[in-house]
Structure 1
């Protein structure tokens, strides 16, 4: 069995802060809830030289990271398999979500604290080089933040977050599932059943690189057909993890799109009357957020974050596609990388200049083309 990693989580990250903001801001006694749950979420540090100032009255940029971390085995290290920049304009009325492909070729700066000398590699390796030699999550996040900052022309971050897979499973359970719209036939490489015994297991065999090869004898994989339905937590999280058996063969880009749909679906459910008017569901949801998300708040009080973000609703999340949602690969030294195209580089520059709305209006093809709910 392969180690389970939160590859689905690119968009789940922003949910922790937004869900906390929306739910606490919408409930009576919000200040009491904030004091109770806030300590479970916030952490100091994590941004290094990529940290912005402590004023979030203007435009805000957040770095959101999902990692493949071997529980109980720090020696195995950790890589950032999910990287997203969340941009909130100075008007504080929208969130623009831009995924950075994990195989993007970048220059990673040196990190004397973990004895990394710097070099050119895939961007997901930056977290690992900071994590090694005792650096852990905090130093991994710092080196990744500094790497993304360099890629984006010196972009600075007002905060960052790391997601935990099991915590989000509990969160979706607390919500009672989510409504998802499948846009392409998706076959799970993680979940299947033995047709003779009914036992659940991984349906495919994998090669040394972790790529699924052949279907195991008597195994039937879970398949998600196009259309809208209410999904339980295991279904939703399994669906948005997939990239290898997508009908359109769009790999990581398809997975990014499905994850974007999932975050909208989750926020829609979390802000529904059926959840916010149920004290037991609210308590379960807020406890799950604390388990799912580690939020590095850059020494800005969580109350300020909630006051700033509480007006953002699912309809105000705009998902953007790097490289137009298509592969832009290049082989260098026998290694395949993703190369950001000129339009994507322009988008990153626009984020730093707080003119994303203007840039997107000129490039409507960047906007995610599928809704998250129906």
Structure 2
């Protein structure tokens, strides 16, 4: 189905939150990017709060109209305390403040992950939605999932996921692909466990453990043509990348190195944009509530599909429509961890 034009959305002036160096480190330790994946022990958090220095930076903030669709079109907020975050990775280049200012028509969300934080704060589920998933995009009919961001920015991407899953997206986080490289370098590199060997840009990604720098990490999350199942393996690699980032971030080598913590936080804030309700205080409180979560409590999976096909001249991925009711019910009843364990 052809694209239908959408009415232009106002682009309110974007605000940036200024943080001291100590606050930046505290934010990272208590929430921020790690708050999306799990958090650290209280003792480490207190240590971070003791660090201070007058170096400021920016966190890009998206206004409500830049992040979410109209309220009357959305599911009701959760009543059980669970939180759902939509993580979008844009293929545009540069700092996220510049990426967010670019016309979404020139971008695709090559990473679309739904991060679900259980009400009891014991588990975090990260669900990948394949970019070529053939789904209903409100106001446009069926199209590839990654077209939603191109056609309507974060609000249409949120509306698409809410329509698909029947769950309210509480927060939005947008990251430019350059951020993957910068975060990796700030941590001194990461180690990923590669399931399918391939070569990209002259680098051999061997089967098993691979130590990657920033450029190599970016190649790892972007490659799909080397795989017989294309986006399926790319989604698994993106999940493995996040797992590796989380593991390296809470390693002894990072926690014992304040400069590395600060460098990583700088890389995160440079490349991360969040909705205005995801304040630094909200991130901090979420991170503290996740203090007992460890990498083993973070479960990655991909929205079930039944294979690929063609829609016109487009190669697409068809969702397993029969699996969607169980996923929607698991989200509604806060039992997504049980669904993942059983599937």
> How far apart, in 2, do the equivalents of 1:68 and 1:292 lie?
12
Q: Tell me if structure 2 keeps the 8 A contact 1:37–1:290.
A: no
> How far apart, in 1, do the equivalents of 2:260 and 2:283 lie?
22
Corresponding residue for residue 213 of structure 1: none
Q: 1:30 aligns with which of 46, 49, 56?
A: 49
Q: 2:184 aligns with which of 151, 169, 172?
A: 172
CA, structure 1 residues 16+52, in 2 after alignment: closer, same or farther (shift >3 Å)?
farther
* CA deviation map 1:335-355 (0-9, x unaligned): 432221122553244223311
Corresponding residue for residue 151 of structure 1: 164
Question: Would you say how many aligned residue pairs link Structure 1 and Structure 2?
Answer: 297
Corresponding residue for residue 26 of structure 2: none
Q: 1:356 aligns with which of 329, 336, 343?
A: 336
1:1-374 matches, within 5 Å, as 15=33, 17-18=35-36, 22=40, 26-30=45-49, 40=59, 42-45=61-64, 46-48=67-69, 49=71, 50=74, 53=77, 58-69=81-92, 74=103, 77-110=106-139, 118-130=140-152, 140-152=153-165, 154-188=166-200, 191-192=201-202, 222-246=203-227, 249-296=228-275, 298=277, 301-323=282-304, 328-341=307-320, 342-363=322-343
What RMSD, in angstroms, separates the aligned Cα atoms of the two structures?
3.1
> How far apart, in 2, do the equivalents of 1:35 and 1:302 lie?
21
Q: Tell me if structure 1 keeps the 8 A contact 2:38–2:290.
A: no
Instruction: List gaps (5 residues or longer) in structure 1.
Output: 1-13, 111-117, 131-139, 193-221, 364-374
TM-score normalised according to structure 2 size:
0.76
CA, structure 1 residues 23+30, in 2 after alignment: closer, same or farther (shift >3 Å)?
farther
Structure 1 stretch displaced more, 100-109 or 36-45: 36-45
CA apart distance, 1:31: 8.2
CA, structure 1 residues 292+311, in 2 after alignment: closer, same or farther (shift >3 Å)?
farther
TM-score normalised according to structure 1 size:
0.70
**Helix, strand or coil at the partner of 1:240:** helix
Instruction: List gaps (5 residues or longer) in structure 2.
Output: 1-31
